[in-house]
Amino acid sequence: MRELQKANAGGDRKAQLAIDIFCYRARKYIGAYLAAMGGADAIVLTGGIGENSPDVRASICEGMEVGRSSP
């Protein structure tokens, strides 16, 4: 991911596409688990991306905001 982010910062469109696809797939899997579990109180991203990539974390979580309705 570091190499992709460096290339992306240099304007490499293929690197941006690779990052976008990675984030989309991560978001898809997290969304599937959220649906299967009926939601979650938090999502924790760990490891290199969790620690060092705020832009990637934000992109993965983009659109996961859900309103909770009262019973």
Domain encompassing residue 29: 2-61
How confident is the model at residue 49, as a pLDDT? 86
| 69 within a domain of the structure (yes/no) | no
- The amino acid occupying position 6 is K
How many distinct structural domains can be found in the chain? 1
pTM of the model: 0.83
Identify the pLDDT of residue 64.
84
Which has the closest alpha carbon to 59: 8, 18, 24? 24
Question: Taking all residues of the chain, what is their mean pLDDT, rounded to a whole number?
Answer: 89
Within a domain: residue 24? yes
pLDDT confidence bin for 70, thresholds 50/70/90: very low
Q: Is residue 29 part of a domain?
A: yes
55, part of any domain: yes
What digits encode the pLDDT tens for the residues 27-50? 999 999 999 999 888 889 988 888
DSSP string, 10-41: TT-HHHHHHHHHHHHHHHHHHHHHHHHHT--S
Q: What is the pLDDT of residue 66?
A: 67
CB 19 within 8 A of CB 8: yes
